[in-house]
Structure 1
């Protein structure tokens, strides 16, 4: 065929279709990343389905990740959003989880990447060509990850011999990040579990941080002998080691997940720095919030916490269901989610 100097070039995109989110798997098959056309991004490590990065359109990181965090699967990740399941902390008195490691096995298990999906509030067919810019801005990308009883290693399976399926979804849009899970009992005997999203938020100066939305709520103070206290009618401030489990709503109904059975969402937790709102954390069917900062001495004692003064730049706001036990009968499922919004 004779070449033509003025032949048309290949199309870079389908005409009329707004730019789409880009999803890539790392060359070593260790992580999955998604980037919106407007620049917002998220990275999820398959080890634990741990979110290790969440950036806004300008590339500003919203999560704190230790410089010494182990990303090779050798231990749980220090920072980001580790996933706690099926036990919060340790509980030697509870036979079903007595042998499990701190915070269970989900954060140290390798998840399977199940795929991605996108959604948008406008479509070219209904919005018209002039709406393409707004169309791109309204895109959301969802990444799904899975873990099941059959996928656990033999030793973990021996310690927790239940048939379950856990689907963990990470939803990114321009203004927020939502992480949610669905746990189902696929076996023939009931099991009890706890879940929590151990979110490390990045702040500039912890001494200038105030946390609102927990006023008058009951909490367990793990730094003070696990005493039950009530938060005064004022914001929470961090002035030393802090480890509190707040109850913000009634416990979910067994097998809940539908809108009629879920706990009603309470007021969101708002994080302010120097008087300005920097994060808003909303819970869906998760009745507890853990507020944690290791401060000076505890940070020094953790080998994977670097830099040692990094506690000044992080704050854990951790939605979960950890005040008791969620019992799932065969065939039942439980779901919960958090949505973190930036100012």
Structure 2
């Protein structure tokens, strides 16, 4: 195992004893999901299909922080439109040829595979009643025959979701369990729910170089501290020096997104025409009520040799 100094830090434990978080597993088959609720009312829902976080409520359970399409497929028929899909082992369309991911679909197989619920983390009991940590696993042996044929490499993924009163932490652990080294990309495709896109700014990317996919994948440098969404946006910001990207709405802080061992961030909003063209994006005008700020390692490739481990993730703070 490869150790590193910059491991995602566990959320702080509390000394106060009290009621435990409630954990329920509801549904069956591909629509099974795990729901964790804190005694204070905050909750998180994780669909086992894709280990997709489909809901995160803070403020005593009153405030939904994630956008989920009204037509999102929650039956395992396709990737979920909304929430926090897990992108692995390739981001976007794979290389056309000559790469181990070339036979995979866009965004890989993690978001369309059924994960195993591993239960509460062994370290979860130390978190107290103010937090709960859930672990989910996906292994090469659990892939469909089609995915296994397209990417015949041995790996193990453990995805940890930690709910606290005002934050959600999502961390991936990738292990090479085979003899052959492999390369991968990883992204947390987070859809944030906001009130009015015209009043939203994404801050913290000043001076960062980005690839603008709307402008034929040309390269630019962010010249303003605030990114305003006034049309379709699809940008990949790479090698970001600072850890935190913030979403501000109507001049007030709404979310802080803190990256841990991940250097890249995608900012995305489909705007009018693209939203209409996506059959699972609904309502059509809900581009006004969402923005994606997606942390990951997507510029270039992460390489793992036999037995090596990569770990990275994010902590999102709701600032209402």
Scaled by the length of structure 2, what TM-score is found?
A: 0.91
**How far apart in 2 are the matches of 1:99 and 1:69?**
25
1:96 aligns with 100
The answer for unaligned runs of 5 or more in structure 1 is: 1-15, 122-134, 250-264
**Distance of aligned partners of 1:221 and 1:141 in 2 relative to their CA distance in 1, 3 Å threshold:** same
Residue 22 of structure 1: aligned partner: 22
| Secondary structure of 2:157 counterpart | strand
User: Match for residue 68 of structure 1?
Assistant: 71
Kindly report the root-mean-square deviation, in angstroms, between the aligned alpha carbons of the 2 structures: 1.4
Any idea what SS the aligned residue of 1:161 has?
Answer: coil
CA distance in 2, matches of 1:94, 1:309: 40
Bigger relative CO (Cα 8 Å, ≥ 6 apart): 2
Does the Cα contact within 8 Å between 1:206 and 1:313 map onto a contact in 2?
yes
Aligned counterpart, 2:137: 146
Shift of residue 155, structure 1, vs aligned partner: 1.2
Mapped to 1, the partners of 2:37 and 2:61 lie a distance apart of 12
The residue aligned with 2:270 is 294
Q: 1:303 to 1:339 in 2, by over 3 A?
A: same
Q: Structure 1 residue 84 and structure 2 residue 87: aligned?
A: yes
Aligned twin of 2:5? none
For 1:107, which of 96, 108, 111 is the aligned residue? 111
Instruction: Report the structure number with the largest CA radius of gyration.
Output: 1
- DSSP 3-state at the match of 2:312: strand
Aligned twin of 1:213 = 204
Does the aligned pair in 1 maintain the 2:74–2:80 contact within 8 Å? yes
State the alpha-carbon separation in 2 of the partners of residues 92 and 338 from structure 1.
30
In structure 2, list runs of 5 or more residues that go unmatched: 1-15
Tell whether 2:235 aligns with 1:231.
Answer: no
* Secondary structure class of the residue paired with 1:157: helix
Partner of 1:5: none
**Partner in structure 2 of residue 41 of structure 1:** 43
Contact map agreement 1:248 1:266 (CA 8 A) in 2: no
Q: CA deviation digits over 1:303-341, x for unaligned, max 9?
A: 000000010000000000000001111111111010100
* Distance across 2 between alignment mates of 1:176 and 1:315: 18
